[in-house]
Amino acid sequence: MTSAAINVVQAFIAAINRRDPAAISELMTEDHVFVDSRGTVVSGRAKMTAGWKEYFRMFPDFGIHVEEMLAERSVVAVFGSASGTYNGRRGLVAKNRIAMPAAWKAIVEKGKIKFWRVYADWTEGIRIIEEDRTSGERRKP
């Protein structure tokens, strides 16, 4: 299953990079579990599909950049980076750009992602979002 699991994870990441919640949803099990980099757990395909839609509204250019993947049976580890521009008060400006090294753990079951966990230091992202929220700057109409 190792290469099949890698293929599913590659398709999942490609759907994320296209910012395509419908395709992401099709690749999740009904009982999908997502754990973000701060340890927050969200369960269920419907909740996560809505979550991805909101995330892409907040980061319309979000992307995962893969450097390496390792797999053991149905478990896939992904190493690389994530980046995106926060669409806050200031809009899609360079100072709202967030980029960080990241890793992901996926568990594949019957050709779908059952479990997806993000490992990243989100400190800089939180700082940028908070700075944007408290900034007097607003996007120009």
- Residue 45 is part of a domain; what is its CATH number? 3.10.450.50
52 domain-assigned: yes
Residue 28 structural domain = 2-134
139 domain-assigned: no
Model pLDDT, residue 1: 64
Q: How confident is the model at residue 74 (pLDDT cuts 50, 70, 90)?
A: very high
Average pLDDT along the chain: 95
141 domain-assigned: no
109 domain-assigned: yes
Kindly report the pTM of this predicted structure.
0.94
DSSP per residue over the chain, as a string? -HHHHHHHHHHHHHHHHTT-HHHHHHTEEEEEEEE-TT--EEESHHHHHHHHHHHHHH-TT-EEEEEEEEEETTEEEEEEEEEEE--BTTBS-GGGEEEEEEEEEEEEETTEEEEEEEEE--HHHHHHHHHHHH-S-----
104 domain-assigned: yes
Q: How confident is the model at residue 83 (pLDDT cuts 50, 70, 90)?
A: very high
Average the pLDDT over 13-19 and give the result: 98
Model pLDDT, residue 140: 64
124 domain-assigned: yes
The number of folded domains in the chain is: 1
**pLDDT tens string 94-138:** 999 999 999 999 999 999 999 999 999 999 999 999 999 998 777
Average the pLDDT over 23-41 and give the result: 97
Q: Minimal CA–CA distance to 9: which of 129, 107, 80, 128?
A: 107
76 domain-assigned: yes
